[in-house]
Chain A
Amino acid sequence: MGKKPLFNIFELFVLLLKYAKLSLKSILEYKFDRTFITIAIVCREMISVVVMFLILVRFVHIKGWEYNEMFFLYSFLFLSYSIFVLFFAGMRDFAEMIYSGEFDRVLTRPLGLMYQIIASKIDLSAGLGHGIVGVILFTKTAFSVGIDWNIKNIVYYIVILISGAVIQASIFLFASCFSFWTVKTDNLRNMIFFNARRFSGYPISFYPGIIQKLLMFVIPFAFVNYFPAQFYLNKAEINSFWNGFLYLSPAVGAIMFVLVYMFWRQGVRHYSSTGTSR
């Protein structure tokens, strides 16, 4: 679609804010419920944190990883997931858009499709829930694992978190694309995504080679937390991996997004409505 864009960058940004304002308004309609849901999500996510904490209270370190390093590693998962559901929740719930017929409405508007999908949704409760856990873990550990937080490290940290969010969003959008061909993949996606995330809570060096390979090349969660954390921690075990992996997270995110975007465009071309639009 080589059309001249209808809006310039500035206008698109203002529109993004308007979208955000609308989403927030509908969310904050039920302030009490939303607060409660956020608390519940914090509790749910704290389960694995508490278990890890209790294990480390007892054993002090696992395979050379001590308390602070483990939780620093874990914090990447929560923070990047939080960014993912705050900014890319539309990509996460894209399949839903097709089933409900909402996608038809998106198609008729004079705006980029991907832009609308990303702008249309914010999952504030999950974003805050994961964000709170992530921030707690980060602030408790980031200053006691020997990281010099200079400008370079801070900038790369932000880049890594966004890359992690994009990687996760790409996984979700990839699975959603199958709904263009009316194949339901939600179950499979959730299973693959959340199990991969479960593995990633601990250093990948704990697992047999095949699981490590899966987490690096198939569902690349290793680039969401393990390699980014190792960039800062530089633990000796990193020598068993190629050194370049430490810097690859942004590239993995970008490549995945481009590939999934191309696949998604194929899907849009193939799309025929479910006819359920209200």
Chain B
Amino acid sequence: MRAYVEFAKKAFQNNIAYRADYVAGVINAIVMIFVNICIWKAIYEDEQTVDGVQFKILITYVVISFLMQCIYAMDEYHIEYKVRSGAIGLDLLKPMSFSGYIFSYNIGILVFRVVMQLIPALIVSIVLFKMYPPFSLSMAIYFLISTILGYLVLYNLNFIVWISSFWFYWTFSLVTIKDAAVMILSGALLPLWFMPQALVDFINLTPFASIYYVPITIYLGQVPMEEIALVMAKQLIWALGLFIAGKLLWKTALKKLVVQGG
């Protein structure tokens, strides 16, 4: 366990070296929030209120979503780099679980992003954009749990994509296509309630809504108390399902690596 904490620390320190990147990350998030708010303002000028969803709720949705995007960002090319450079051969010899290492590495990045990006961006957002606080204290706690579950769903989905580098070597394309799917289908950019019913029905069959939409709607108090256990159970099932799928793929990948002689 100590080793994994060290991995996480290492990832945290590595990130500090790229100061310009994290300042850019904060500014990007704030610009994105601002652009989206301007667009929603323009829409609402036309139609006053739409669907009974208040403008302010939408602003809150946008802010929370982009803040979550800040911390949900992971190192998408770490495994690919390891596979291509052959460093993975050495890593596998070490007395550690490789997937455990990758996870703790990303947790290090997560902690870094919470401290260095989320907190500044959150403060700026609270000052600049008039967003709602969480619906209630209990919803705030459920929101935090749900966000962690959302992170795990995304992480396990990502892990499957990353592992594909054992077959493809370059995963830019797959990662980019996955990102596009996540961005649209998870409600990160547009709340699902604005989408056509057929699309929402489809999304409900996929893990995507568990990533952004569920935590944000909990924050907003749109999920009734009695349904919270259900939506979180769904998140947990997706996280576990994708985790198992990832494990199975990992086993196949290892065989593939052995065939190649590493």
Contact = CB atoms under 8 A, between A and B. Distances in A.
Contacts of A64: 46
B65 to A, nearest CB: 12
Contact of A47 (B21, B172, B180): B180
A43 B177 contact: yes
B176 interface: yes
A64 B35 CA distance: 18
B194 A55 contact: yes
Interface stretch (A8-16, A89-97, A131-139, A185-193): A185-193
A58 B47 CA distance: 11
A50 B194 CA distance: 13
Contacts of A191: 24, 27-28
Given A51-B184, A62-B42, A191-B27, A198 B172 contact: no
Interface stretch (A33-41, A162-170, A242-250): A33-41
B179 interface: yes
A59 interface: yes
B189 interface: yes
Interface in B35-66: 35, 38-39, 41-43, 45-47, 50
B20 A37 contact: no
A150 interface: no
Contact of B196 (A40, A57, A62): A57
B180 A206 contact: no
A43 B180 contact: yes
Interface string B11-24: 00000000011001
Contacts of B183: 47
Interface residues of B, number: 32
Interface string A205-232: 0111001000000000000000000000
A186 B250 CA distance: 36
Contact of A61 (B41, B46, B179): B46
A55 B190 contact: yes
B32 interface: yes
A63 B42 CA distance: 6
Given A57-B196, A198-B35, A63 B46 contact: yes
Contact of A37 (B21, B28, B173): B173
Contact of B170 (A33, A54, A199): A33
B234 to A, nearest CB: 23
Contact of B184 (A41, A47, A55, A195): A47
Contacts of B173: 33, 36-37, 39-40
Interface string A175-186: 000000000100
A46 interface: yes
Interface in A91-110: none
A274 to B, nearest CB: 20
A157 interface: no
A124 to B, nearest CB: 14
B42 A206 contact: yes
A67 to B, nearest CB: 13
B73 interface: no
Nearest to B195: A54
B248 interface: no
A44 B176 contact: yes
Contacts of B244: none
B124 interface: no
B177 A62 contact: no
A202 interface: yes
A57 B198 CA distance: 13
Nearest to A46: B180
Nearest to B179: A44
Given A43-B180, A51-B189, A191-B27, A59 B43 contact: yes
Contacts of A187: 20-21, 24
Interface string A55-76: 1011101111000000000000
B50 A59 contact: yes
B31 interface: yes
Given A55-B39, A187-B24, A188-B20, 9 more contacts: A33-B173, A47-B184, A191-B28, A195-B31, A198-B35, A199-B35, A202-B42, A206-B41, A208-B38
- Name the 4 nearest CB pairs between A and B, nearest first: A40-B173, A40-B176, A43-B180, A36-B173
23 contacts: A33-B170, A37-B172, A39-B173, A41-B176, A43-B176, A43-B180, A44-B177, A46-B180, A47-B189, A50-B184, A51-B190, A54-B196, A58-B50, A58-B194, A59-B46, A62-B46, A63-B42, A64-B46, A187-B21, A191-B24, A198-B32, A198-B35, A202-B38
